[in-house]
Amino acid sequence: MSRPSISELERIAAEMRGEVIGMSHRADTPHLGSALSCVDMLVACYFSGALHVTPANPRDPDRDRVILSKGHAAMSLYTALAYRGYFPREDLLTFNREGSRFQEHPGPHTAPGVEVATGSLGHGLAVGLGMALAARSLGKSYRVAAIISDGECNEGSTWEAALFAAANKLTNVVAMVDYNKWQATGRSDEVLALNPLREKWAAFGWDAVEFDGHHMQALVDFLSAPPSERPRIAICHTVKGKGCSFMEDDNNWHYRVPTAEEVEKARKELGLA
Amino acid sequence: MRNAFANEITRLAQADARIHLLSGDIGNRLFNEFQAKCPGRFFNCGVAEANMISVGAGMALSGLKPVAYTITTFITARCFEQIKLDVCYNEAPLVIVGVGAGLSYASLGPTHHSFEDMAILRALPGLTVLAPADPPETRTALRAALAHDGPVYIRIGKKGEPTLDPNPPPFEIGKGRSLRSGDHACLIATGLVLAEALHAADALAARGIAAEVVHMPTVKPLDAELLSLIFGRHRLVALIEEHALAGGFGSAVLEWAADADARGPRVLRFGMPDEFRHESGEQEYARGICGLRGEQIAERIARALEA
Q: Check pLDDT > 70 for residue B130.
A: yes
Which residues are paired to B99 by β-bridges?
A: B71, B156
Question: What single string gives the DSSP state of each residue in A32-92?
Answer: HHHHHHTHHHHHHHHHSSSS---TTSTT-TTSPEEEESSGGGHHHHHHHHHHHTSS-GGGG
Nearest C-alpha of chain B: how many angstroms from A150?
A: 18
User: What is the average pLDDT across A65-72?
Assistant: 98
Least confident of A1-5, A64-68, B156-160, B227-231: A1-5
Residues B70, B156: Cα–Cα separation, whole Å: 11
Interface contact flag, B61 A128, Cβ < 8 Å: no
- Contact between A101 and A110 (Cβ < 8 Å): yes
CB-based contact, A157 to chain B, within 8 Å: yes
* Per-residue model confidence (pLDDT) at position A1: 55
CB-based contact, A163 to chain B, within 8 Å: yes
**Shortest CA distance to B93 belongs to which of B117, B116, B115, B126?**
B126
Residues A266, B14: Cα–Cα separation, whole Å: 60
Q: 3-state SS string over B66-117? A: EEEEEEHHHHHCCCHHHHHHHHHHCCCCCEEEEECCECCCHHHCHHHCECCH
Give me the interface pTM, i.e. the ipTM: 0.97
CA distance to A24, A111, A117, B126, per residue, from A102 (Å)? 13, 7, 12, 21
CB-based contact, B82 to chain A, within 8 Å: yes
User: What is the average pLDDT across A115-131?
Assistant: 98
Question: What single string gives the DSSP state of each residue in B36-69?
Answer: HHSTT-EEE--S-HHHHHHHHHHHHTTT-EEEEE
- Contact between B76 and B50 (Cβ < 8 Å): no
CB-based contact, B61 to chain A, within 8 Å: yes
Same topology for domains B2-156 and B177-306, yes or no?
yes
**Shortest CA distance to B184 belongs to which of B160, B158, B205, B161?**
B205
- Contact between A126 and A133 (Cβ < 8 Å): no
Global pTM value: 0.97
Strands B19-23 and A232-237: unpaired
pLDDT band at B307 (very low <50, low <70, confident <90, very high): confident
**Shortest CA distance to A71 belongs to which of A117, A20, A128, A40?**
A117
Interface contact flag, A108 B89, Cβ < 8 Å: yes
Interface contact flag, A164 B89, Cβ < 8 Å: no
The fold for domain B177-306 equals Rossmann fold (3.40.50)
- Number of other CB atoms surrounding residue A99 within 10 Å: 5
Interface contact flag, B41 A61, Cβ < 8 Å: no
Nearest C-alpha of chain B: how many angstroms from A157?
A: 6
Residues B189, A191: Cα–Cα separation, whole Å: 50
Stated as kind and residue range, the H or E segment containing B185 is strand B185-189
Nearest C-alpha of chain A: how many angstroms from B85?
A: 7
Of A61, A134, A157, the CB nearest to B50: A157
Cβ–Cβ pairs < 8 A, chains A and B? 96
**Shortest CA distance to B31 belongs to which of B45, B16, B48, B43?**
B43
User: What is the average pLDDT across A107-112?
Assistant: 95
Q: What residue spans define the domains of chain B?
A: 2-156, 177-306
Average model confidence (pLDDT) across chain B: 97
> 3-state DSSP call for residue B21?
strand
pLDDT band at B263 (very low <50, low <70, confident <90, very high): confident
- Contact between A48 and A54 (Cβ < 8 Å): no
Q: Check pLDDT > 90 for residue A273.
A: no
Q: Check pLDDT > 80 for residue A184.
A: yes
CB-based contact, B56 to chain A, within 8 Å: yes
User: What is the average pLDDT across B190-214?
Assistant: 98
- Give pLDDT tens digits for A140-170: 999 999 999 999 999 999 999 999 999 999 9
Q: Check pLDDT > 90 for residue B192.
A: yes
User: What is the average pLDDT across B157-166?
Assistant: 96
Interface contact flag, A126 B86, Cβ < 8 Å: yes
CB-based contact, B25 to chain A, within 8 Å: no
CA distance to A160, A205, A231, B301, per residue, from A123 (Å)? 11, 19, 17, 48
- Give pLDDT tens digits for A249-263: 999 999 999 999 999
Question: What single string gives the DSSP state of each residue in A105-147?
Answer: S--TTT-TT--S---STT-HHHHHHHHHHHHHHHT----EEEE
- Contact between B89 and B60 (Cβ < 8 Å): no
pLDDT band at A2 (very low <50, low <70, confident <90, very high): confident
- Contact between B82 and B54 (Cβ < 8 Å): yes
CATH match of B2-156 with 3.60.150.10:
no
- Contact between A33 and A185 (Cβ < 8 Å): no
Which amino acid is present at A158? T
- Give pLDDT tens digits for B29-73: 999 999 999 999 999 999 999 999 999 999 999 999 999 999 999
Domains of chain A: 6-269 (3.40.50.970)
Cβ-based contacts of B67 with chain A (< 8 Å): none
* Sign (positive or negative) of CA dihedral B102, B108, B112, B113: positive
Interface contact flag, B55 A127, Cβ < 8 Å: yes
- Give pLDDT tens digits for A18-46: 999 999 999 999 999 999 999 999 999 99
Of B46, B61, B86, the CB nearest to A163: B46
CB-based contact, B175 to chain A, within 8 Å: no
Residues A249, B95: Cα–Cα separation, whole Å: 44
Cβ-based contacts of A134 with chain B (< 8 Å): 58-59, 62-64
